[in-house]
């Protein structure tokens, strides 16, 4: 009995057998999955050992490409095997296509959403997205869902909550989505400062402008313009003025100084803190801090 079972599951016998029964085909399928899984792990380990990468996103992308390659290899092996078992497969698929699509609506929409994400108008791992009130950095994109590393909903925080949010791919079809591309990860930010109406507003404005100019260099603007050119290959994007500016406005018996500047998405909070500290130090040094209004 044991010998018969061992002979039945013997991979060499199954591999070279002609006109295998369907049960042996399923045993062959199990062996193929195990074999490809082992090959995938060996290949990934060899790449990690002999072609080391320091960038986690590059390691992730490489492993995903290897995984898709072995899935494709398995598909190529299996299609002719199971296709020959059902001579009327095309007719059956044609008749049942509508029923399959309806009964697997969510799966079909998720695959359609995955195709949309993979297109030039989609997003990639590392991009920052906001959908249905959830904001985070994309850390994984699967065929059924994508995963975000959630960010604090406070617009002034942008700090990770260390929670992973799994979102079905069909959300990108049915909902509005905001994307900050890693190729153009700059956003406009603004800091507002109020002073008394009789304050030395010209001096305060000059201090604020000098600080913005010191922090945001010409090299940053050139880098931004280069990224904009790359993004313009797929989108009509016009940045307009990219230099930092201070707007001075009279507002309800006070003077409003609006410090507006372009900052990288992941540096937004740090830049706000740096600018605020420098402004306070300079105002204190020039004995102007008492003229601020809160």
Identify the CATH number of the domain in which residue 166 sits: 2.30.30.60
In terms of domains, do 210 and 168 share one? no
Domain boundary among 152, 180, 208: 180
Nearest of 36, 29, 28 to residue 11 by alpha carbon: 28
Other CB atoms within 10 A of residue 80 CB:
8
233 and 214 in a single domain? The answer is: yes
Q: Any idea which of 51-55, 198-202, 228-232, 264-268 has the lowest mean pLDDT?
A: 228-232
The rounded distance, in Å, linking the Cα atoms of 48 and 56 is 12
Task: Provide the pLDDT confidence category of residue 210 given band limits of 50, 70 and 90.
Answer: very high
DSSP code of residue 249: E
Q: Sign of torsion, CA 280 282 288 291?
A: negative
Angle (CA) 106-137-47 rounded to 5° is 90
Q: Residue 14: which domain range? A: 2-85
Q: Does residue 106 sit within a domain?
A: no
Residue 59 CB contacts under 8 Å (≥ 6 apart), including other chains: 48, 53
Per-residue model confidence as pLDDT tens digits over 62-103: 787 788 888 888 777 776 666 555 555 565 556 556 655 665
Residue 55 covered by a domain = yes
According to the model, what pLDDT value does residue 63 have?
80
Residue-level pLDDT at 33: 81
Assigned domain for 119 exists: yes
Does residue 105 lie within any of the structural domains? no
Is the model's pLDDT at 47 over the cut of 80? yes
Domain end marker among 40, 69, 85: 85
Q: Is residue 109 part of a domain?
A: no
- Domain edge (last residue) among 162, 180, 198: 180
Q: Tell me, what's the pLDDT at 232?
A: 63
Q: How many CB atoms lie within 10 A of CB 269?
A: 16
More confident site: 1 or 30? 30
Show Cβ contacts of residue 73 under 8 Å, excluding neighbours closer than 6 positions.
36
Sheet of 134-141, strands arranged across: 160-168, 145-151, 134-141, 128-131, 177-180
The answer to the question of residue 197 being in a domain is: yes
Residues 190 and 208 reside in one and the same domain: yes
| Mean pLDDT along residues 20-44 | 76
pLDDT at res. 39:
87
Pair (81, 128) in one structural domain: no
**How many Å apart are CA 31 and CA 11, to the nearest integer?**
7
Whether 43 and 119 map to the same domain: the answer is: no
Q: Which of 146, 139, 137 is nearest to 173 (CA)?
A: 146
Number of structural domains (the chain) is: 3
Let me know whether 131 and 228 are in one domain. no
Q: Does residue 258 have a pLDDT over 90?
A: yes
Residue 18 placed within a domain = yes
How many Å apart are CA 22 and CA 45, to the nearest integer?
35
Q: Mean pLDDT throughout 50-54? A: 75
128 in Cβ contact with 159 (< 8 Å): no
State pLDDT tens for residues 213-242: 888 876 667 777 777 666 666 666 666 677
d(CA 59, CA 78): 29
Kindly report the CATH number assigned to the domain that includes residue 261. Answer: 3.30.70.100
Give per-residue pLDDT as tens, 129-148. Answer: 888 888 888 888 888 889 99
CB 211 within 8 A of CB 205: no
As a whole number of angstroms, the distance between CA 169 and CA 140 comes to: 12
pLDDT at site 207: 92
User: Are 123 and 50 in a shared domain?
Assistant: no
For residue 261, what are the β-bridge partners? 189
Task: Name the least confident of 55-64, 84-93, 183-192, 279-288.
Answer: 84-93
> Which pLDDT band holds residue 152 (cuts at 50, 70, 90)?
confident
- 257 touches 192 (CB < 8 A): yes
Domain match, 176 and 205 both? no
**What is the C-alpha to C-alpha distance for residues 278 and 284, in angstroms, rounded to an integer?**
10
Q: Is 289's pLDDT higher than 60?
A: yes
């Amino acid at each position: 009995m044991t010998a018969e079972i061992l002979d039945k599951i013997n991979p060499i016998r199954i591999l070279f057998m002609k006109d295998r029964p369907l049960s042996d085909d399923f045993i062959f399928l199990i062996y193929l999955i195990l074999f490809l899984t082992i090959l995938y792990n060996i290949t990934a380990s060899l790449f990690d050992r002999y072609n080391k990468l320091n960038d986690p996103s590059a390691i992730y992308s490489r492993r995903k490409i290897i995984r898709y390659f072995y899935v494709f290899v398995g598909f190529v092996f299996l299609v002719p095997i199971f296709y020959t078992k059902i001579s009327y497969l095309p007719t059956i698929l044609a008749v049942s296509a509508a029923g399959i699509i309806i009964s697997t609506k969510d799966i079909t929409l998720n695959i359609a959403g995955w195709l949309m994400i993979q297109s030039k108008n989609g997003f990639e791992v590392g991009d920052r997205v906001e959908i249905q009130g959830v904001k985070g950095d994309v850390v994984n994109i699967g065929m059924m869902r994508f995963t975000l590393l959630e960010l604090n909903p406070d617009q002034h925080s942008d700090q990770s909550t260390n929670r992973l949010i799994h979102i079905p791919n069909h959300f990108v079809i049915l909902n509005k989505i905001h994307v900050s591309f890693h190729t153009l990860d700059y956003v406009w930010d603004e800091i507002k400062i109020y002073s008394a109406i009789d304050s030395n507003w010209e001096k305060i404005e000059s201090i604020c402008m000098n600080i913005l100019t010191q922090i945001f260099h010409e090299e940053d603007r050139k880098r931004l313009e280069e990224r904009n050119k790359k993004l313009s290959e797929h989108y009509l994007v016009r940045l307009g003025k990219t230099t930092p500016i201070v707007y001075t406005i009279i507002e309800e018996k006070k003077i409003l100084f609006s410090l507006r500047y372009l900052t990288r998405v992941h540096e937004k909070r740090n830049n706000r803190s740096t600018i605020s500290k420098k402004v306070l130090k300079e105002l204190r040094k020039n004995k102007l801090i008492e003229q601020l209004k809160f």
